[in-house]
Amino acid sequence: MRNPLTTLIARAAEVTTTVPPRPAFLRHCVLALVAAVAAAGSFSAHAQAFPTKPVTLVIPFAAGGPTDLLGRALAQSMGASLGQAVIVENRVGAGGTVASAYVARATKDGYTLLLHHIGMSTAPSLYRKLSFDPLKDFEYLGQVADVPMTVIGRPNLPANTPQELIAYLQREGKAVNLSHAGLGAASQLCGMLLQQAVGAESTTVPFQGTAPALTALIGGQVDLMCDQSMQTVQHIKAGKVKLYGVTTRERLKPLPDAPTLREAGLKDFEVVVWHGLYAPKATPAPVLAALNTALKAALKDPALIKRLDDVGVQVVKEGLQTPEALHAQLSAEVNRWGALIRQAGTYAD
């Protein structure tokens, strides 16, 4: 069967019989079409061979923080499955939207991916001038993992139990510095819900990720933070910060003595940070299939599972490791947060 582009070349050649001869121009046209056919051919061969060079995984927050730690663990396991290195690149700023905008505009060849969390779903409501659309500008590779959060304080914060913390927040109000990783980051959303639940307003202090925010907390420059267990468990165990509670329904395996915030009296309080893996829209289907296979293989890797389990993190069930499941989750969350954010009237711009 004739390839459509070959047909087009033949037609271009036929033109020589009907149009006054302009040989140089026609030769140029034919050469351009031959080049296009060659490029298309090499692209499909390229797609079959994917990947032939390292893949970049863009992380929207600072190196050393929870998204970065999850991303690096995932990159290592996916790289082993793909037979190519997966290199982590941190592109920080504006609650993760700088990285999302970058990947939305990246070359659609599967070599630039984005790991992002719940913040992908809050961005279209929080940022009214967003340069990308989370529901239109990406391919969805699958959900990745659900990460619990912990509420932690500087080592010398004068509150030792969750009840003392609640009283402290209510008493001190704006004098309390609550740090987070930018508007739309999980730490900011959790902090916002905590203030609502406690009925007190603190002063919020944004950082470009919770890695620098944690350094400030340990150093006593800020008072309090919600942060993902991916980063905090080791610092809690080392006694570098005070732990007040976990944001899940159940206690966490690595921190069995820490109460849930529900147990501590904050009724219905629950924050779990879901994560998804994205590629730019219109990445070729065979490349997406290869990436999804690598994602699924990574989420079965015993080394990855153990590394996450040690910090209370579960990889998602196999049925959620799919493009459809990630898209469904994102759509539902965009609607849920849209309503909450409009109600709260809080915008980033």
Q: What CA–CA distance (Å, rounded) separates 184 from 176?
A: 20
261: tokens are 């915030």
Residue 119 Cβ vs ligand ASP, minimum distance, rounded to whole Å: 6
Q: Binding to ligand ASP by residue 348, rule CB under 6 A?
A: no
Torsion of CA 338, 340, 343, 348, to 10 degrees: -60
Q: Binding to ligand ASP by residue 210, rule CB under 6 A?
A: yes
Q: Is 77 exposed, middle or buried (0-12, 13-18, 19+ CB in 10 A)?
A: buried
Q: Under rule CB under 6 A, how many of the chain's residues touch ligand ASP?
A: 15
Q: Applying CB under 6 A, which part among 63-71, 103-111, 255-263, 339-347 lies near ligand ASP?
A: 63-71
Nearer to ligand ASP, 142 or 209 (CB): 209
Residues 223-252 that bind ligand ASP (CB under 6 A): 228
Q: Applying CB under 6 A, which part among 66-74, 290-298, 316-324, 336-344 lies near ligand ASP?
A: 66-74
3-state DSSP helix/strand/coil % of the chain, to nearest 5: 50, 20, 35
Q: Binding to ligand ASP by residue 209, rule CB under 6 A?
A: yes
Q: CA of 203: how far to CAs of 145, 175, 178, 179, 210, in Å? A: 31, 7, 6, 8, 16
- Choosing from 187, 229, 247, 321, the residue that interacts with ligand ASP (CB under 6 A) is 187
Half-sphere exposure of 48 (CA within 13 A, CB side): 5
Phi–psi pair at 49, nearest 5 degrees? -85, -5
Q: Binding to ligand ASP by residue 312, rule CB under 6 A?
A: no
Residue 66 Cβ vs ligand ASP, minimum distance, rounded to whole Å: 4
Residue 293 Cβ vs ligand ASP, minimum distance, rounded to whole Å: 26
- Choosing from 33, 55, 58, 66, the residue that interacts with ligand ASP (CB under 6 A) is 66
Q: Binding to ligand ASP by residue 191, rule CB under 6 A?
A: no
Q: Binding to ligand ASP by residue 274, rule CB under 6 A?
A: no
- Determine how many CB atoms are found less than 10 A away from the CB of residue 18: 6
Q: What CA–CA distance (Å, rounded) separates 124 from 117?
A: 14
Nearer to ligand ASP, 235 or 296 (CB): 235
Longest alpha-carbon distance in the chain = 91
In the complex, the residues that contact ligand ASP under the rule CB under 6 A are 61-62, 65-68, 117, 181, 185-187, 209-211, 228
